[in-house]
Amino acid sequence: MITRRQFLRGDLSGRKAPLRPPWALAEPDFLAACTRCGACVPACPTGILAQVRGYPEIDFSRGECTFCGKCRDACAPRALRQKTGTPPWRLRAAVANDCLAYRDVVCRGCGDACGEAAIRFSPRLGGAARPEILAERCTGCGACVSACPAGAVTMATAGD
């Protein structure tokens, strides 16, 4: 299935845009500015950056982003730029139907991993409490992704 944004851009393949490091320029500008030097990858202290087809991408299965800015500082071509007062990205957590709680299995791994308390569990009569993402608290750090034993937590750009 393709998103509205992909349709309007003419991207009918249905592929998801890659998750770029924090403070990445808009995708066309990022691709034009990034020299594929890879300096940002070893600069990441949590090791969540990987070079895929030469460009850096985030892999939240490896851990979380601490927004330390070391990848941004290592980026000589300035494909990663922090603008004052803007968030590092518009990523937010999303929970799919594969979540164990939707199968009435008690699991709070994602909530336990979330340092921002952006995941709350709503009690249900006769079933396991289900996770709810509080978008206003979610920083998009991805700590919840690797903590999910079912792989039901993903990161998506807010608005997609």
In tens, the pLDDT along 34-73 reads 999 999 999 999 999 999 999 999 999 999 999 999 999 9
Residue ranges making up the domain that contains 59: 4-74
- CA 123, CA 9: separation in Å to the nearest integer? 41
Total residue length of the chain = 160
pTM given for the model? 0.83
Computed over its alpha carbons, how large is the radius of gyration of the chain? 17
- Residues 119 and 70 reside in one and the same domain: no
* Domain membership flag for residue 82: no
Domain boundary among the residues 12, 41, 74 is at 74
Structure-token pair, residue 30 = 């990022």
Residue 1, C-beta contacts closer than 8 angstroms, at least 6 positions apart: 14
Give the residue ranges of DSSP H helices in the chain.
Answer: 4-9, 27-33, 40-43, 70-74, 109-113, 143-147
